[in-house]
Amino acid sequence: MRPVSKQATKLSHPWAWTPQALADGLHFHASGTSWQDVLPRPGRLDQCFWTAEHALIAQTYISEWPCTAHIKFHESDFGKRVTPRDHLIWDLAKQLGADAQILASDPCDRPTSWRYDGNEVTYQHVIDWLATLGYEHNESIPNRSYTVKLDSANQYQILPAKARPQGRLVIIDPLPGMNIKDFALDEGDLTDLQYHKVDQIEQAFLSGADCVRINDFCQSSDFGNVGHISYGYSAKAIAQHQAAGRVLTISATRRDWTALSNSEELMTADFMDWHFSTVLDAIAKDEEVPSEVVMAHGERLDDILAGHPNLPVTYSATLDPNDFARRAADEQLVEKLRAKIRVGDMVSQRALFAYNEQGKLVPCGLDNSTENALIEAARLEGKVVPVNTYFITEAGQPLLIGELEEVVRELDAQNERNDARLNSRLMPA
């Protein structure tokens, strides 16, 4: 097994650190918008690529959903037929088969007379439909109100409550010796936001700063404005980090606190899943993974080892369409997968991609049509997406659960021998 020097770039050997040790000192940027470039781009106004010190804080900047609407139902109307005057509720009713001919409208274009066609849809029918889509309401309150998610790209059709933007988490390992201009010398002030000080930030970059440090605030659904430190990289600095292999992108979604006091939440499930995948990859390649790193993922590892020993080891990885050449794909399947990407519906039990022995993500070839369509759908959406993946060994075969178990057993034995040697040196003569 090959040990790794702690002087190596963290992102080149992330499995050599525990998740907490790895995260310490890294910077994070999260986004739910579409990207067509590989290189992270600074904002147009302030020319900063903003990052936070923790993955969770960065991921609060991914919106819960970009297009929502608030609708209210009165208890006295539940059994009545939905009328075209209730514009949004009528749009929802039409998705259940309602229709009407508008015979007259007032000066504000609100229908005043109509003739019903189609299905008879009541307000209760719409409420019941919202429940099937996962929307909840406090039953102790007579009237009903909901905030629903709408698909602005598809005539504002209502989406399931679990729909969430598919985003990305950009992880940066800062270069040593960066010139950082620190503006966060006192407490943050919501009435005097430091990221608005565009002229001062521009002057800092003109004076040679690589990065600015400011007091900032993110928005938590449950805790409101939460203060934190942000680092804004200049365009030149972020390009230098990219060229040095100190920028890495993984798939992610919005995350939020359940408790502000829980520091473990600062490392999100997306970050932990990615780190676990690097640990599995390192174990399969016979790298010297420290025992404390393996222990940090004990539950995830146990879940995998509980499977049948003759099945491949599968785990989640990030597919970046920019890593693949453009390919011919079925247009209908591409559009179907684009719709899934838009609502974050990427859960699949099938492993269509694999990491080869060079550490490159490649299609498995089991379903060329779906593999090609997914790559092109992600490219058109400007997204990186999670895919179920397995690892190909040097023999060209998938790593099996039974083989991983043997490697883990040997790793445990090696770590025990190392601990025994260390203890013997510490024992008094």
375-397 tens-digit pLDDT: 999 999 999 999 999 988 878 88
Three-state SS for 76?
helix
Q: Note the pLDDT of residue 358.
A: 81
Contact 400, 312 (CB under 8 A): yes
Cα 11 to Cα 195: distance, rounded to the nearest angstrom? 28
Q: Note the pLDDT of residue 356.
A: 85
User: 104-122: per-residue pLDDT in tens?
Assistant: 999 988 899 999 998 999 9
User: 317-336: per-residue pLDDT in tens?
Assistant: 999 999 999 999 999 999 99
Which DSSP letter does residue 215 get?
A: E
User: 204-222: per-residue pLDDT in tens?
Assistant: 999 999 999 999 998 898 8
**Among 247, 210, 231, CA closest to 35:** 247
User: 244-284: per-residue pLDDT in tens?
Assistant: 999 999 999 999 988 766 777 889 999 999 999 999 888 88
Q: Is 60 exceeded by the pLDDT of residue 4?
A: no
Antiparallel, parallel or unpaired: β 180-182 and 211-220: parallel
Q: Count Cα atoms within 13 angstroms, Cβ side, for 199.
A: 0
Q: Note the pLDDT of residue 155.
A: 65
Per-position b or e across 259-297, b if 16+ CB within 10 A of its CB: eeeeeebbbbebbbbbbbbbbbbbbbbebbbbeebbebb
Q: Is 80 exceeded by the pLDDT of residue 141?
A: no
Give percent of the chain with pLDDT exceeding 70.
93
Q: Is 80 exceeded by the pLDDT of residue 77?
A: yes
E strand segments, 19-159: 27-31, 49-52, 68-73, 98-105, 111-118, 144-151, 157-158
- Which segment, 90-94, 140-144, 260-264, is predicted with the most confidence on average? 90-94
Sheet arrangement for strand 68-73: 68-73, 144-151, 157-158
Q: Is 90 exceeded by the pLDDT of residue 306?
A: yes
Cα 357 to Cα 361: distance, rounded to the nearest angstrom? 10
Q: Note the pLDDT of residue 2.
A: 43
Which DSSP letter does residue 251 get?
A: E
Q: Note the pLDDT of residue 101.
A: 93
Cα 311 to Cα 313: distance, rounded to the nearest angstrom? 7
Instruction: Count H helices and E strands in the chain, helices first.
Output: 12, 16
Q: Note the pLDDT of residue 426.
A: 63
Based on its alpha-carbon atoms, the radius of gyration of the chain, rounded to whole angstroms, reads: 26
Q: How confident is the model at residue 189 (pLDDT cuts 50, 70, 90)?
A: low
Q: How confident is the model at residue 8 (pLDDT cuts 50, 70, 90)?
A: low
Give one word for 299, left, alpha or beta, with left for phi > 0 and alpha for psi -120 to 50.
alpha
Mean pLDDT of the chain: 88
Cα 307 to Cα 338: distance, rounded to the nearest angstrom? 32
Cα 344 to Cα 270: distance, rounded to the nearest angstrom? 13
Helix (H) or strand (E) holding 89: helix 87-94
